[in-house]
Structure 1
């Protein structure tokens, strides 16, 4: 993290960032928040072009880990802030998940994050600069849910990668994770639709059931996850390392 001459410790002036899954609702909110906090450039990676004002978009399939390593090597600036926000989800009975589908989910959600952490970590440490790596996990990685074994395994693995990275990349780089709960994105719309199909509950009632299970009685917003990212990326969080921050309205209490 580049030290800023701004008075607020939450300013990210002078920093370059990389966000995976940048075309999704959460990824877009994160890139916007980083730019608003003063990041000079944000590299946005996704399967579709995430480029916009201030965001250098790169189309990359994160399941292709060889390609991920190649694209990291082509970056013309070394990011001080890395946010692995990409997430692949499907609702399927564990007995019906093909091996290749399981491996693809792990590659997108977990292995690509490891490759990025390794390659950018090497480059950043060689410059002697401070950095902040943030992995977007899920409460599903802390407490398993049915019919998504590949997603649960990948998000639990991302928490493990976070804790290992916090040891391996110290003292220059901090590595933390955010575990969102029920965030109002297209992914949660799909989750609700899948559960409604299984329970036979009307879609609007199923949505209300999700919301009523949250102590705050509402879903989180992508912007709230993005605000947590900005905090963890800032100098104010320099002593936070290897932690998992629940942003779930109080659903998880351990």
Structure 2
């Protein structure tokens, strides 16, 4: 039967690995991918922080497992993929990678330290590269294609005060996405970037509801902050067969903030 436009977004039979899955966007992405039919691997530095989420997914009828991964450490990344292989064929090589792990340090440029720079760049850019290239090697060795979704930010395309290393790192993720897409296309591996704008989560809720947050919202053309579900359609497009011809794309989900002059 020919696939319909709707079921091309389904991920039945696929394995999806999500980094930075212990909170915020990563946790939401893992649950979404499970609801779309994927077997999901949740990765973070501490497995204990993932166990409740695994139980939640399984309670809803999905399949999920947790694995420890420090994205800044190549040995840890390799060990994580080896662990997937040890679980057997059903989990061995991810079909989808959501490269989501990220951090930021908020302080003025003149107050940023070398440690701040290293922490942000090692997690956001080096970590993205280590996990993405390792996933690609496993996909190529297994002679299977796949989809890599790098979670960047609109700050990879524009700047804001107080987060210089973060903006630089996300600009690097945007360029890394294009470089990976170019070289991996021959292996049927698609690499795209998702660029969220200001998305309301438990971590930033207080700021977004503050006076400074209101001033920020006034500069967004849609006059609203995003919510996690705003990212659902774009993520599934990039992860599924619905986006089979897309690679090297950078999709902003930001209420037109990126194209504004404010």
Specify if TM > 0.5.
yes
Aligned counterparts, 1:63-212, within 5 A:
63-76=72-85, 77-171=92-186, 172-189=188-205, 192=207, 204-212=210-218
Check whether the contact 1:141–1:156 (CA below 8 A) recurs between aligned residues. yes
Q: CA deviation at 1:7?
A: 6.5
Q: Which stretches in structure 2 are left out of the alignment for 5+ residues?
A: 86-91
DSSP 3-state at the match of 1:31:
helix
1:63-92 Cα deviation digits (max 9, x unpaired): 334322332232221001000111101111
Q: Distance in 2 between matches of 1:8 and 1:221?
A: 24
TM, length-normalised to structure 2: 0.85
Q: CA deviation at 1:143?
A: 0.4
Q: Distance in 2 between matches of 1:34 and 1:44?
A: 11
Check whether the contact 2:149–2:193 (CA below 8 A) recurs between aligned residues. yes
Q: CA deviation at 1:36?
A: 0.9
Q: CA deviation at 1:150?
A: 1.4
Q: Distance in 1 between matches of 2:230 and 2:32?
A: 10
Q: Distance in 1 between matches of 2:216 and 2:110?
A: 25
DSSP 3-state at the match of 2:221:
coil
Check whether the contact 1:211–1:219 (CA below 8 A) recurs between aligned residues. yes
1:187-241 Cα deviation digits (max 9, x unpaired): 4347x37xxxxxxxxx632222222222222111112223311111111111111
TM, length-normalised to structure 1: 0.87
Aligned-residue Cα RMSD (Å) equals 2.2
- RCO higher in structure (CA 8 A, sep ≥6): 1
Q: Distance in 1 between matches of 2:151 and 2:256?
A: 17
Aligned to 2:41: 43
Q: Distance in 1 between matches of 2:6 and 2:194?
A: 26
Q: Distance in 1 between matches of 2:13 and 2:175?
A: 30
